[in-house]
Amino acid sequence: MKRGTAGAAMAACADAAGKCPSTSGTQSSHMEQAALNSMSIDQLWRLHEEVAAKLAEKIAAEKVRLDARLREIQPQSRFSPGRARRPYPPVFPKYRNPKNPAETWSGRGKQPHWVKTQLEAGKKLDEFLIGRSPKPLRGRTGRKIRR
């Protein structure tokens, strides 16, 4: 076995086993272990750097490949990374808990616990509406209808 480079040591180990380095075969595993044990710290460190560089290179290539595939699958995605989401207008509360006026709900999304318990108790959702001044009724012309 050549002692010059870490790569040569691993290549010699792989050649002796008759296949690429892996831990699946016991003979190959023993030979790899023997090759690693016979290497100096400098050789092991160079091997570590080579492996880390190769791994980073392969990860970067895989990321590029997966990004291209994702663009191919979703070319018109609304949630592309470069595009910011549109701002949504503020949603005002529509319902108020009569037992705790600080608890409100806009009527969107999952019902809060206090709404569920009140509805299970037989109350109607309209009973929790926050009082607003009624809007004036308008006809086709946009004028107020007098009553």
Q: Which residue in the block uniquely carries the two structure tokens 């690429």?
A: 20
Q: What's the number of domains the chain is made of?
A: 2
* Rounded Cα gap, residues 102 and 87, in angstroms: 26
Whether 90 is covered by a domain: the verdict is: no
64 and 104, same domain (yes or no) = no
Specify whether 11 is located in the same domain as 69: yes
Task: Note the pLDDT tens digit of each residue in 59-97.
Answer: 999 999 999 988 888 766 555 566 677 888 888 999 999
Query: Is the same domain home to 54 and 102?
Result: no
Q: Are residues 19 and 56 in the same domain?
A: yes
Residue 65 resides in a domain: yes
pTM of the predicted model as reported, rounded to 2 decimal places:
0.35
Domain membership flag for residue 82: no
What amino acid occupies position 63? K
Q: Are residues 65 and 109 in the same domain?
A: no
User: Same domain for 29 and 62?
Assistant: yes
**pLDDT score of 1:** 41
Residue 142 lies inside a defined structural domain of this protein: no
More confident residue, 74 or 118: 118
How distant, in Å, are the alpha carbons of 96, 101, 103, 105, 119 from that of 113? 12, 14, 10, 11, 10
81: in domain = no
The answer to whether residue 84 is domain-embedded is no
Q: Is residue 60 a part of any domain in this protein?
A: yes
Query: Residues 13, 62: one domain?
Result: yes
Alpha carbon distances (Å) from 37 to 10, 19, 21, 42, 135: 11, 20, 15, 12, 85
pLDDT per position as a tens digit, 93-113: 999 998 999 999 999 999 999
**pLDDT value of residue 18:** 46
Together in a domain, 11 and 65: yes
Residue-number span of the structural domain to which 25 is assigned: 6-73
| 23 and 66 in a common domain | yes
pLDDT, tens digit, for every residue of 1-45?
A: 444 554 555 554 444 444 444 445 677 788 788 888 999 999 999
Residue 83 belongs to some domain of the structure: no
- Two tokens, residue 88: 């949504």
Residue 35, amino acid? A
